[in-house]
Amino acid sequence: MEQTLNSHPRRRARPAMLRLLRGARLLVRMARDPSYRFPPKTKMLVVLSLVYLVSPVDLIPDFLPVIGFVDDLALLTATAAVLAGHARDYAQRRNIEF
* pLDDT tens profile 42-63: 999 999 999 998 888 888 888 8
Is the pTM value of this prediction over 0.85?
no
What pLDDT is recorded for position 13? 82
The residues near 59 (Cβ < 8 Å, ≥ 6 apart) are 71
Among left, alpha and beta (phi > 0; psi -120 to 50; other), residue 95 is left
pLDDT beyond 90 at 4:
no
Task: Give the C-alpha distances (Å, rounded to integers) separating 2 from 10, 11, 12, 21, 69.
Answer: 17, 16, 17, 32, 35
Mean pLDDT of 33-49: 96
Give the residue from 30, 59, 67 showing the smallest Cα distance to 46. 30
Mean pLDDT of 6-34: 87
What pLDDT is recorded for position 5? 53
